[in-house]
Structure 1
Amino acid sequence: MATAQAAPTASTSLLPAKSWQHFVAGGLGGMCGAIVTSPFDVVKTRLQSSLFREKRSAMAMAGANGAGAYAPPRPNLFYNFVETGHILRDIYREESPRALFKGLGPTLVGVIPARSINFFTYGNGKQIIANNLNHGQENAWVHLAAAAVAGIVTGTATNPIWVVKTRLQLESNSSTRAATGTKALSGSWATIRLIMKEDGIRGFYKGLSASYLGVTEGAIQWVLYERLKRLTAGTEGKGGIQEWAGMLASAGTAKCVASLITYPHEVIRTRLRQPHVNGVVKYTGLIQTLRLVIAEEGARRLYGGLSAHLMRVVPNAAVMYSIYEGILRWDSSK
């Protein structure tokens, strides 16, 4: 970080000076990134879900009979990006432009505290770990430990919000609800009440095991970002396009690599958070979901929605980390 190192004082406070900076900067960065990339988040969630996949298959069959214009998905990675564009178009036409931002409310309610908690825990955690366990020196292991702690704390605190968001994003039109036996959800509060009725408090922690598995993504991302930031450190202080390009490239590359390595946990988490189908819970646990997806749909399905995910998270990370770093540097320069 480009924050100035505080001089030693007699204070007994565990947290470094101006620790609140990480909380505010992370929250603002997360909010801006989420708003910009919300439509891709909707597409990603639907592509990860078996309910939406079944709907697409049914429409493909109807199209083959002359009743629609849907074609079966092609097993081609590059076509997945084209398919993402088709789904965005279909949502816009069939459900209204507003549907492209379904779940944005819970997303913002989740992203702002999640990013604030994550950046706060990581930004201060790496200093605490370095000062107490590594003679004040930061290295890859310090970054890894801080990122792991930040991921666990963030996942535990915000999991209920992501469950509500996932339910809302899987809510489509009335024909889909009729086919799956799910109820119409008028908003976040209606979704919360339904989850409480069906599963109780435990329902808000569905997918938490997959979220903990996803801690590896955050750890890889932070370690790689710190490394790339050092490699582009020569651009710091130069201002203008060169400095910001280095920052954007570091954030985007770190997120892209981390996502490619750990993506299957995203699919498993979405399946675990799906609504009941005719009162039946299909996915009940981490290992059970992994085995069932591979047995029924093949290992390739563990990467369902990857194109939409990358189209969302890479620019999201670039926006988020740039705002985060910008706020820290601005405050330290005052």
Structure 2
Amino acid sequence: MSNVIAPHVTTHEHDLTRYSTSSPSSSNLGSGSKPRSYTHFLAGGLGGMCGAIVTSPFDVVKTRLQSSLFQVQPQVIMSGSGSSGTLALGGGPTRGLLYNFVETGHILQSIYRDEAPRALFKGLGPTLVGVIPARSINFFTYGNGKTIIAEQFNNGHENSLVHLSAAAIAGLTTGTATNPIWVVKTRLQLASRVSSNSRGTPVLGSIGTIKQIMREQGVRGFYKGLSASYLGVTETTIQWVLYEKLKGMAREVEGKGGFAEWAGMMGSAGTAKCVASLITYPHEVLRTRLRQPSINGAVKYTGLVQTLKLIIAEEGARALYGGLSAHLMRVVPNAAVMYSIYEGALRYAPH
């Protein structure tokens, strides 16, 4: 496995992959300077796990804001006098983006107060079960894929087209392999007090949810939202390409080693994720709607195009950005944590 990464690739001084694997004083390193190919798998899983745990509460809020279930079931999230003020999680049509960040804080407080602190981590189990293999597969496929593509089609040189191709392949592979896990996670996060016991704990856990999906929809139910996931490959593709560019620029400006290097890398990861999310966010809402449970046996959202048309017709185009504030508050620090751990693991792992 270790010979997947060819020695001659490291002879190119401006190869962006050496940002995380080369030593500060050398621009021409032997094959021993490169991490083993499976290190991408382990490092990606570790980074994904840490990022998911830190930002889990924002993930719960984001999922609820994306869903129509919590827009038609108002909850108390603002306090005018006591707890009399009510506001639907989706917010009113006149709410600005800045207010959405304030609203996210109110929702976090509401969940903590009304559903118990553990509700802020609803779906964390399936999230970790999904994030670890998802990030492992994604980083492994991308990290080794860009090297193979460069060797086969570009004489060992990496460029934006190589990064784009590797990122697209990694996104498709990851989405297909992990979609069932995300379906279960979404169902758990949409469990409200209506379907909870007196302690605020969802009646159905992961196993119960799996059985319910299998009973009601069969195996196909675990692949709800897959089309939207494939549409979301554009996000990971933009993110990887932009990250490589920004990382290279930061390296040229700040040099190698020290705090400045890591700060530049974390800033590159956060910026890349922020830009990619802003460009492609509607697919997140479409995917959440497609994964919603049926209501009284009726499935409201049945396909990607049908869901898009229905949301615009019933709620307006603004609804396609529901939960954006919570999403950004989660994914930007998540990306910074995840990529820094990934790069650090690659650097200090056995070579």
SS at the partner of 1:212?
helix
The equivalent residue for 1:100 is: 120
Post-superposition offset of 1:172:
1.2
Work out the CA distance in 1 between the residues paired with 2:213 and 2:71.
Answer: 23
Work out the CA distance in 1 between the residues paired with 2:349 and 2:330.
Answer: 29
- Structure 1: gaps (5+ residues): 10-15, 178-183
Work out the CA distance in 2 between the residues paired with 1:320 and 1:17.
Answer: 18
The equivalent residue for 1:293 is: 311
Contact 1:92–1:100 (8 Å) recurs in 2: yes
The equivalent residue for 1:30 is: 48
Work out the CA distance in 1 between the residues paired with 2:209 and 2:203.
Answer: 6
Report percent identity of matched pairs: 70
SS at the partner of 2:49?
helix
Post-superposition offset of 1:243:
1.6
Q: Is the aligned partner of 1:259 residue 2:292? A: no
The equivalent residue for 2:58 is: 40
C-alpha change, 1:55 and 1:152, in structure 2 (3 Å) is same
Aligned residues: 316
Q: Deviations over 1:82-137 (max 9, x none)?
A: 11001000000000000000000000000000000000000000000000011000
Contact 2:195–2:203 (8 Å) recurs in 1: no
Q: Is the aligned partner of 1:225 residue 2:243? A: yes
Work out the CA distance in 1 between the residues paired with 2:125 and 2:149.
Answer: 35
Work out the CA distance in 1 between the residues paired with 2:125 and 2:195.
Answer: 24
Work out the CA distance in 2 between the residues paired with 1:59 and 1:120.
Answer: 44
Which among 169, 172, 180 is matched to residue 192 of structure 2? 172
The equivalent residue for 2:324 is: 306
The equivalent residue for 1:239 is: 258
Q: Deviations over 1:203-243 (max 9, x none)?
A: 00000000000000000000000000000113353312x12
Contact 2:225–2:291 (8 Å) recurs in 1: yes
The equivalent residue for 2:183 is: 163
Work out the CA distance in 1 between the residues paired with 2:57 and 2:43.
Answer: 24
Question: TM-score when scaled to structure 1?
Answer: 0.90
SS at the partner of 1:282?
coil
The equivalent residue for 2:8 is: none
Contact 1:6–1:17 (8 Å) recurs in 2: no
SS at the partner of 1:232?
helix
Work out the CA distance in 2 between the residues paired with 1:266 and 1:71.
Answer: 23
Post-superposition offset of 1:68:
3.2
Work out the CA distance in 2 between the residues paired with 1:308 and 1:67.
Answer: 23
The equivalent residue for 1:323 is: 341
Post-superposition offset of 1:70:
1.4
C-alpha change, 1:6 and 1:237, in structure 2 (3 Å) is closer
Work out the CA distance in 2 between the residues paired with 1:303 and 1:317.
Answer: 20
SS at the partner of 1:136?
coil
Work out the CA distance in 2 between the residues paired with 1:185 and 1:290.
Answer: 31
Post-superposition offset of 1:175:
7.0
SS at the partner of 2:69?
helix
Residue type of the partner of 1:25? A
Q: Is the aligned partner of 1:70 residue 2:104? A: no
Contact 2:134–2:174 (8 Å) recurs in 1: yes
SS at the partner of 1:137?
coil
After superposition, residues 48-127 of structure 1 pair within 5 angstroms as: 48-56=66-74, 68-71=84-87, 73-74=91-92, 75-127=95-147
Work out the CA distance in 1 between the residues paired with 2:289 and 2:188.
Answer: 14
Work out the CA distance in 2 between the residues paired with 1:107 and 1:212.
Answer: 19
Post-superposition offset of 1:330:
1.4
Post-superposition offset of 1:52:
0.8
SS at the partner of 2:298?
coil
Residue type of the partner of 1:100? L
- Structure 2: gaps (5+ residues): 1-16, 23-27
Work out the CA distance in 1 between the residues paired with 2:334 and 2:112.
Answer: 21
The equivalent residue for 2:170 is: 150
Q: Is the aligned partner of 1:279 residue 2:326? A: no
Work out the CA distance in 2 between the residues paired with 1:8 and 1:90.
Answer: 54
Work out the CA distance in 2 between the residues paired with 1:238 and 1:156.
Answer: 37
Contact 1:80–1:307 (8 Å) recurs in 2: yes
Post-superposition offset of 1:17:
6.6
Post-superposition offset of 1:329:
1.2
**Which protein is richer in helix relative to its size?**
1
Residue type of the partner of 1:220? I
Question: TM-score when scaled to structure 2?
Answer: 0.86
